[in-house]
Every structure is written in C-alpha cells, then in structure tokens.
A = this chain, B = another copy of it.
Amino acid sequence: MVDCGEGTQMQLRKYKLKIGKINHIFISHLHGDHTFGLFGLISTLGLLDKSSDLNIYAPPPLEQIVHDHLDAFDIHIPYRLVFRDLDCSKSEMIYEDKNLRVETIPLQHRIPTCGFLFHEKPGLRNIKKEAIEEFNIPVREIHRIKEGFDFTTESGEIIPNEQLTREPQKPRSMAYCTDTLYTENVITKIAGVDLLYHEATYMQDMADQAKESFHTTSQQAAMLAKKSGVGKLVLGHFSARYKNLDLLLEEARKIFENTFLAEDGAVFNID
C-alpha cells in the first residue's frame, strides 16, 4: 500500500480489499493526509490477529511517532512493526523480492518527500507447447529451459533455447509521485513507466499558488508524462476547491491524451 490517509481502513472495507493482506506500506511524507490512517490500521490489524511483520517505509521520525502513539493509547499488537527510514535526498532501492523491486524517487515538497517506483522483474520465458512434444522434453527440464538454457535431446542434439521458448511478458512498472513541485529531475527515474500516478493539486491558472505550496498543476503533470514517455497518466490529490474534476482532466489531456482521474475506488489495469 502507498500512503495511508485518515479513513484508509474504511475505504479498504468499502471496496472489499483484504486489510489482513497488507504487509508493506510505503509512506511518501509525514503530512496528515498521507499518514493519519496508519494508527487505526495498525490497531485494526492487531484486532484481526495479524502475525506476519508489517513493514513501513517512511521518512523519519515516523517510527518514533508510531511507537509514542501505541504507548499513549496502550495499544498492544500481536505482530512486529518493521520500519525502514527513507532518505528522500536521493534514490534508493528499498524493497526487492523475486517478482518486484521498489525504488524511491526524490521529490520536492515542504518537508522530506519520496515518490516510489515499482518495477516488476522479468518473468521466465514461455515454453512452446509444440516443442515439448517435438523434442520429447521431460518435465524436470522445463524450468531450466524457461530460465533460458538450451536443451540436449536423448540423441545428443543441442536445441537452442530460442527454438523452444517465446519472450516472457514485458515487466510492468508504475511510479507514484506526490506531493511535489513540478520537477524534471524525476524524468530519468520515471521514463517509460507503464503508469504514472502524479499529483495535480491545481489547474494551470493557479500555477503561482502551486509553486508557493510545493504542488503541481494538471498541465505540469501532463508535461512530465509526455517528457517521460509514460504509458498512462493518473492524476490525483486534487484541491478541495475543484467540484468538477473534469476540468483538470481536460487540461491534462490537451497535452497528454492518455490521462485519467484517480477517483475513489478507481482501478487501472497495467497490461
């Protein structure tokens, strides 16, 4: 999960997402609209008898704040909280497993703030069904062939891997950038991602206000999406002043057509 504003657990329940499955939370910065839901969520995970670690990646001093909070309310949880302090001045690799890599993206806000880049790792090659039959490949060899190795038949003939497999699915990627000033420093990190979530607090006619409050306009977010050659742009973090979000969408689409609004409950597929 990325960020955890007040009411996150209610939204998870509303959209029938399994709260108990959350093991990693990435927090961009320590403002209330990105963190105030953590306390209730941590508490509820305790009531749900979570036993696996909950890993929280956040700028300091969130670890201290959370522990002080648990002490103040005398909350005891049956699982372990594991914090990783983020240094938002540079990009770091903060998480890796066999499928996924997560890196931070330094952003420019009033306080230390990180974006996050989620990169799927390349999968195994897809073995051709017809090749299994043709060369009589035994089951025990299949995983090695998917990893890219050639196959030697019973008669000693070497079949090159390209003849046996197809390219794996292209690894998918997603970047999350909020809250931040418009900054082109992020382009090298987010270049070519399939989906960019970017804040668009204001419209372009309030560019001065955006700059002053370290936020981005809808038009600026679209410029970044264009310059970074991303697949899809999802806008969010809108100022409460906008009752009609279509205006922000239109402004962005003039520059980057494949733009969408991160409205409550919205789901975006990355193919």
Interface residues of A (CB under 8 A from B): 6-7, 9-10, 30-33, 35-37, 39-40, 43, 61, 64-65, 68-69, 72-75, 111
Min CB gap A111→B, angstroms: 8
Most B-side CB within 10 Å, residue of A7, A35, A39, A61: A7
* Whole-angstrom CA separation of A6 from B43 in the bound complex: 12
Min CB gap A28→B, angstroms: 14
Min CB gap A55→B, angstroms: 21
A32-B43, A43-B32 as given contacts; A6 in contact with B37, CB under 8 Å: yes
Look across to chain B and name the residue whose beta carbon is closest to the beta carbon of A42: B32
Dominant SS at the A interface? helix
Tallying the copies of this chain within the complex gives 2
Chain B residues with Cβ below 8 Å from A69 are 65, 69
Determine whether the beta carbon of A6 is less than 8 Å from that of B68. Answer: no
Chain B residues with Cβ below 8 Å from A43 are 32, 36
Chain B residues with Cβ below 8 Å from A111 are 74
Look across to chain B and name the residue whose beta carbon is closest to the beta carbon of A65: B72
